[in-house]
Amino acid sequence: MSFRSIITKHFLTLIFMPLLFVGLYLTSLYSYILFHIVAESFSIVIAICLFMIAWNTRHLTKNNYVLFISIAFLFAGIIDFVHTLAYKGMGVFIGFDANLPTQLWIIARYLQSISLLVAPWFIDRKLRTSAVFGFYLSATLLLLAAVFSGTLFPDCFIEGKGLTPFKVASEYIICFILISSFILLYRHREKFDPKILRLIAWSIFCTIVSELAFTFYISVYGLSNLIGHFFKIFSFYLIYRAIIATGLENPYSLLFYDLHKNQEEMEIILDSSPIMIFYKDSKNRFLRVNKVLAEATGLPREAMEGKTVFEIYPNQATSYWEDDKDVIASGKPKIGIIEPIDTATGTRWVQTDKIPYRDKEGRIIGIIGFAIDITERKRVDQELRDSEESFRMLYASSPIGIEIYDMSGRLLRANSATLEIFGLASEDPIKGFDLFSDPNISDDHKAMINRGETIKYNASFDFEKVRELALYPTTKRGIIELDLVIQPLASGGGYQVLVQDVTARKQAEKALQESEERYRELSIVDDLTQLYNSRHFYFQLKIELERSNRYEQPLTLLLMDIDNFKAFNDTYGHIEGDHVLRRLGQVVKRCLRETDLAYRYGGEEFTILLPMTTSEDGAVTAERIRTEFKKENFSPAPCQEIHLTVSIGLAQYKPQEDMKTFVHRVDQLMYQAKKNGKNRVCSEA
C-alpha cells in the first residue's frame, strides 16, 4: 500500500483527530460546558450509530457479541445524554448540584463495563434481542430513578471536597471489570477479525485510562476531568473504527467473518481429507478437486479444474460418465462403485460414492464424488481368498479331524478325517452336536473356552455308549483315546476342534509307563522337576548332619514354598502348574553351586542343603533364588495374571541337634515368611 493511500484511508486518524483534540481543548478554555457537550455528543452519536448498524444486520452473523454491546452502548449513551443535560451549569435539572452528573457518569460506566464483561458469553449463543432490550430498558429506568431520588444512590461528588470514596472505588472496580472483559475477549479471539479485535482491545484500554483520570479531579471543570473526556472520545472513536467504519468499508470483516472463516475451514478440511473429493458439472467437467485427488493423478489442481473426465482419465472416462449420468438423471446417489483410476504411480483401485450436486433452487447441476483408495484392501482380499482356498484344501485332506462349531457350541461341519475317526459315512448325522455337552470337558475348560483361550485335553470315547444312546450310526466298536485341541476361530464366530485318534499311542505309553513304574519307585529323582525327591533328601540330610558334627562344619537348610500356587492351579490347570514346578527346578539349579543339593520335598515345596555354608551365606543364595523366580512369567493369560513368588525359610544346623527338630525349625521359618507377606526370605535373627 502506497504512502498516499495510507494517508487517504486514515485521514481521519492522522489529520482530523489531532485537530479535533486541539479544537476541543481550545473550546474548553472558552467554555467548559460547550466542550463537555461536544465531547459527550461524540460518544452518544457513535453509540446510536453502533446500535443502528448492528441491529439492522443482526441476521447476517452468528456472532452476537457486537449486537449485545450495541444494545448496551445505546442505553449507556442514553444515560450519557442525561448526564450531559445534568452537567453543572446547564441549568436543565433545577435543584441538583455537581453530584447528579457524577452519579449518572458512574451508572453509565458500570453499565458499559459489565456489558463488555458479559458480551463474550453470547459469541456462540442465541441472543433473545427482545429480552436483552427489555432488560436494559428496565435497568436504565431503575438506575435513573435511583439517582434522581436523591437518597437511593450513594453520593459521588461533594462541592468543595471533591470525589467521594464510593466514586473513587467505583472507578477502580470499573477498571478491574474492563480488564476482565479484555481477558475474556482475548480467549475468544478466533471469532473476530484480528484488526477488529485490536481496535476493541485498544478501546477498552482507553476506557480504563479515562476511568483512572476521573479518580483525581476536585472540580468538574478540572484538568483531570478534561483528560478523562479526551480518552473517552478516543475510546468511542476506536469502537467507531472497529464496527461502524470497518463494517462500511469491508463488511465481510465484520458481518460475514464467521462465513468467511467457515469457507476457509472448509477449504482446509477438503484438502486435509485423506479421501479423494471432486465436484463435476452436468457436462462432465471438474469444477473442484481436492489436494489428494490432484496429487494422486500427478497433475496440478489448476490443470484438472475446468477439464472433462475424458481429458484427464481417457481410459476410464466412459464408465465414469455413465455413472455420472445415472446420478444426474435419477437424483439418487450411487454408493460403493469399485473402479480403476490412472495415477502417477500406475493404475489403482478406488471405491467411489457419487451424490447429486444441487444449486440453491434444488436443481441438479452435477455430481459430488468421494473416492477411497482400496488397492491395498483388494490385495488383502485376494490373499484372504487364496488363504481360504488353501484352508479348504488342508481341511479336506488333513489326517487330523477338524470340526467347526458356532458360538453356542453346535457342530456346523466336520472333515473326512473326523468322519473316519468316528466311523461315519457323512457329517449329517452329527450336525447340531453340542460341544459343551461333552462330559470330558470340565467346568474349568468351559470357562477357558468362554474367555477365548485355547485348551488341550485327552478324552476317552466309548462307541458302545454311542450305540446305546443312538446318537449316530457308527460302524466302530470299543473305546478310543482322543487328543483334542479347542481354540476360537480367528473371525471370532465360533470354535475349531482338532481331533486325533491316539489310541495306539496311549496303549504304548501305558505299557511303557507300567514297565517304568518299578524303577520310579526306587528312583531318587523327581520325574517332574528332575531334582532329587524327598526320599533321597532324608537319606542325604542324615549324612550331612553326621559330617557337620564330626568336622564342625556349618550346614544350612532352605525350605521354600510357591506362593499363590493353588490359585494358579485352579485358574490354569495342573498342566500349567506342573510347568511352574519344572521352571522353579531350573531356577534353583542355576542359582546353586555344584556342592549344593536341591530336592522336591512334596507338592510345591522344595528343600536345599548347603554344606559348609553359614546362614548368612545361605540367605544370599535364598535371596538369589527368590529374585530369579520372581522374574519368571507363568500366566498364560496376561490380562488375568497371577503372580507366583516363593517364601523361603532357612536356618543353620546346631551341633548335635536332632534331625527332625532341625527340619521343623526351618519349616516354621518358612511359614513365618508366608505370614509376613510372602515373597520373602526369613531366617533366625
CATH number of the domain that residue 373 is part of: 3.30.450.20
Lowest mean pLDDT across 65-69, 238-242, 326-330, 550-554: 238-242
Domain of 539 in residue numbering reads as 523-683
pLDDT score at 655: 92
Q: What is the pLDDT of residue 27?
A: 65
Q: What is the mean pLDDT of residues 361-382?
A: 84
* pLDDT at site 519: 60
Boundary-marking domain end, from 505, 538, 573 = 505
Nearest-angstrom CA–CA distance, 178 and 456 = 76
Tell me which residue of 287, 292, 321, 313 sits closest to 302, measured CA to CA.
Answer: 287
Q: Do residues 217 and 282 share a domain?
A: no
Whether 513 maps to a domain, the answer reads: no
Residues 245 and 359 in one domain: no
In a domain, 7, yes or no: no
User: Is there a single domain that holds both residue 277 and residue 253?
Assistant: no
Residues 239 and 336 in one domain: no
Looking at the structure, tell me whether residues 421 and 463 fall in a common domain.
Answer: yes
pLDDT reported for residue 479: 81
Q: Is the pLDDT of residue 614 over 60?
A: yes
pLDDT in tens, 280-296: 888 889 888 888 888 88
- In this prediction, residue 64 has a pLDDT band, given cuts at 50, 70 and 90, of confident
252 with 302, same domain: the answer is: no
Query: Rounded distance, CA 90 to CA 221, Å?
Result: 13
Tell me: do 588 and 647 sit in the same domain. Answer: yes
Going by the DSSP 8-state scheme, the letter that residue 223 receives in this structure is H
Which residue is associated with the grid cell 483410476?
A: 341
Distances (CA, A) of 201 to 116, 195, 235, 668, 672: 11, 10, 10, 80, 74
Q: Is the pLDDT of residue 106 over 80?
A: yes
- The answer as to whether 388 is a domain residue is no
Categorize the per-residue pLDDT at 679 as very low, low, confident or very high, splitting at 50, 70 and 90. Answer: very high
Which domain CATH number covers 121? 1.20.1070
Confirm whether 576 is domain-assigned: yes
Q: Based on the domain organization, do 164 and 305 belong to the same domain?
A: no
Please state the domain count of the chain.
Answer: 4
- pLDDT tens profile 237-258: 777 777 655 444 444 444 444 5
What integer pLDDT is reported at residue 592 of this predicted model?
93
Secondary structure of residue 97 in the 3-state scheme: coil
Do 665 and 585 fall into the same domain?
yes
CATH code, 606: 3.30.70.270
* Average pLDDT value over all residues in the chain: 80
Whether 2 maps to a domain, the answer reads no
42 and 149 co-located in one domain: yes
Same domain, 47 and 181: yes
Residue 548 has pLDDT above 60, yes or no: yes
Q: State if pTM tops 0.85.
A: no
The reply to whether 606 falls in a domain is yes
**Percent of the chain residues past pLDDT 70, beyond the cut:** 82
* Domain annotation covers residue 511: no
Compute the average pLDDT of residues 547-574. Answer: 92
73: how many CB neighbours lie within 10 A of its CB? 29
| Spatial contact of 401 and 418, defined as CB atoms under 8 Å apart | yes
Residue range 301-321: mean pLDDT, rounded: 86
Flag whether 265 is in a domain. no
How many helices (H) and strands (E) the chain has is answered by: 27, 18
Q: For residue 308, which phi and psi values (nearest 5 degrees)?
A: -85, 165
Does 330 share its domain with 365? yes
Residue 605 has pLDDT above 50, yes or no: yes
Q: Give me the pLDDT at residue 317, please.
A: 81
